[in-house]
Amino acid sequence: MKTNPYRNSDFVGANLFLQPVVIPPLLFQATIILLFTELSLYAVATLIVGLLIFYTSDELKLIRYLKSFKKTAMKFHFFSIIFSLIIGIFYAIPLVTLLVVFDVMWAFKVYKVYQGVYPK
């Protein structure tokens, strides 16, 4: 059985938890959108920063700890990549607002899972 990654840690409030969870998906989506512009160097830099933040994120801890959350996370990231590709290919920049809404909703979902996993 896997050990709980939050066993000896302090509980983090919603504000401090949600901000770092929203940043990686936004950066990954920006990377995909930037690939379809002349700003490919910025896309590479954005991808590197996004991977570094994601590697240290609570989302990754939860993905490693819960199999059910892993499936949900993979679905979210798959559909956000597809949606980002559509935005990048057709240059439908106003649809980025929907991506931001989806990312915030995703952050609340991750926080809800975090609350359920955190030992009381």
Q: Give 15-37 pLDDT, tens digit per residue.
A: 888 888 999 999 999 999 999 88
pLDDT digits (tens, 9 = 90+) for 58-99: 999 999 999 999 999 999 999 999 999 999 999 888 999 999
Can you give the residue ranges of every domain in the chain? Answer: 22-111
pLDDT of the residue at 30: 93
Q: How far apart are CA 113 and CA 93, in angstroms?
A: 31
Rg of the chain over Cα atoms, rounded to whole angstroms, equals 15
Q: What is the pTM of this model?
A: 0.88
